[in-house]
Structure 1
């Protein structure tokens, strides 16, 4: 693993840190590969329920290290470089939570589109400068940004490449919430801990359903009703209803390692699970 990627785990929350503050956490091929490996490792580790991603120092990531980028241009290879990192983010079945401290530029911003929850410090700034650099947008941003922001705002972001401050990012829906810089990590950790107390299998199921494209809305409604009926007899639902009757918080810990048949894999080619690639 690159010296510029560190991991730490407290409880069921694995934190992955980009640690190159002297270069504003600019990403090299080695850092891409280490980040991808760290995400895949956390996703496969049964002791991990939530994966957090952040940067050290005053930046989340300033994007590609230009010198390294020119020396090693990106290739369409899902096991290495930018593509490898984006595939690891896309394939992750566990919740991905980003804490954006400072600038997020280029792929440092587009990778956030693959996270499930994004929180920002008040000084956070976002920029997607691809067109002005003579480059095409990347990270699936030409698909994901129009879905998230609408076509007009997505065009503004990608055509002009201007800075987006934290308040505008919140208003536009790029981030879930903005905190004072000094409070960001503690607030994100609090939310990650809350997620870790949820039933792990159901978190993965809800995420997969949101990622999987249904053939129609009616088909998805039918699928959800079927899943509700099947999950009613499983341990997580029994514990939740028992806890309500006993007026106490539910304890899903004993069930975290259990896989149940009520979480079937996606079957169509556009499905989230179907996109996973062998290592």
Structure 2
């Protein structure tokens, strides 16, 4: 599938919108899609015409996470390096970053929500991080962000025991800001986004910097460590095949 089809990029006023668009794979993200989103985030970060970045999915899924069935793209390098760069782009983004979760968010799609500034979700969505079930470890800085957002016990239940967090629970725990009925997502959510986009850009950027500076280095370290552990598992798996 062509990159232009798997990532839809649009702009409405000062709002840049990115949609994961691979409905046949429940919007699973491959290396080419990761690279595309990294570039969009980095370009939006320095574009004075953009004040808000929105991530969402097409169809009935936000994203099912990594597309393990997709062949690696020869031009994107090692998958874990791309993944690390993708997560860092979230950590370093200086403007308002909003996720509109139109359906289930799994794996990397769920963990990076904790790096967004606001999350609006359909009440039909759920959040799942089945890392141990897949024989890997947590990523997306979730070993740092999930305990802070959800509390240590619920974070452990999600990251170690593959607990599926409902939209209602996500709202109660503060993992998302608001939940809406599916038919309301495209109306009420966007009214709120437009409202946010009209706030003074300079004040927003400075305030976000003040908030994020306190934890940014810890997030970067968490990402480094998680990727390091994922790489160790990958190397061990490769050796076992020899």
Task: Give the TM-score category using the shorter length.
Answer: 0.7 to 0.9
The 5-angstrom pairing of residues 140-159 of structure 1 reads 140-159=141-160
Aligned twin of 1:54 = 56
Structure number with greater Rg is 1
Q: CA RMSD in A?
A: 2.0
Aligned counterparts of 1:73 and 1:26: Cα–Cα separation in 2:
18
The answer on whether the counterparts of 2:31 and 2:72 sit within 8 Å (CA) in structure 1 is no
Corresponding residue number in structure 2 for 1:89: 90
Aligned-partner SS, 2:86: helix
Runs (5+) with no aligned partner, structure 2: 220-242
Q: Is contact 1:212–1:271 with CA below 8 Å preserved after alignment?
A: no
User: Given the superposition, is the C-alpha separation of residues 152 and 271 from structure 1 closer, same or farther in structure 2, using an over 3 Å criterion?
Assistant: closer
Deviation at 1:73, TM superposition (A): 6.1
Q: In proportion to residue count, which structure has more helix?
A: 2
CA contact (8 A) 1:18 1:60 kept: yes
1:100 Cα shift? 0.3
Residues 192-249 of structure 1, C-alpha deviations (whole Å, 9 max, x = no match) = 11111111011011111111128xxxxxxxxxxxxxxxxxxxxxxxxxxxxxxxxxxx
Match of 1:186 in 2: 187
Of 29, 32, 47 in structure 1, the residue corresponding to residue 31 of structure 2 is: 29
- CA drift of 1:47 comes to 0.9
Please tell me whether the aligned partners of residues 123 and 182 of structure 2 are also in contact (alpha carbons under 8 angstroms).
yes
Q: Which runs of 5+ in 1 are unaligned?
A: 215-268, 273-279
Alpha-carbon shift at residue 172 of structure 1 (Å): 1.2
Give distance in 2, aligned partners of 1:185 and 1:16: 14
- Whole-Å separation in 2 of the counterparts to 1:11 and 1:148: 32
Q: What secondary structure sits across from 1:270 in the alignment?
A: helix
Select which of 18, 39, 42 maps to 1:40. 42
| 1:11 Cα deviation from its structure 2 partner | 1.2
TM-score of the aligned structures, taking structure 1 as reference length: 0.72
Relative to structure 1, is the Cα distance of residues 34 and 199 closer, same or farther in structure 2, using a 3 angstrom cutoff? same
| Equivalent of residue 65 in structure 1, options 57, 64, 67 | 67
1:59 counterpart SS class = coil
Q: CA deviation at 1:141?
A: 0.4
Which residue of 202, 205, 217 maps to 1:270? 217
Q: Is the contact made by 1:99 and 1:185 (CA closer than 8 Å) also made in structure 2?
A: no
Q: CA separation in 2, counterparts of 1:62 and 1:143? A: 22
1-side partners of 2:179 and 2:71: how far apart? Answer: 31
CA apart distance, 1:37: 0.9
Q: Distance in 2 between matches of 1:99 and 1:192?
A: 10
Q: Shift in Å at residue 17 of structure 1? A: 0.8
CA positional deviation for 1:74: 3.0
Structure 1 151/94 Cα, relative in aligned 2: closer, same or farther at 3 Å?
same
| Aligned partner of residue 137 in structure 2, secondary structure | coil
The match for 2:223 is none
Q: What is the total number of aligned residue pairs between the two structures?
A: 214
Structure 2 counterpart SS, 1:210 = helix
CA change 1:144–1:166 in 2 (3 A) is same
Question: 1:219 maps to what in 2?
Answer: none
Task: Decide whether the 8 Å contact of 1:43 with 1:93 is kept in 2.
Answer: yes
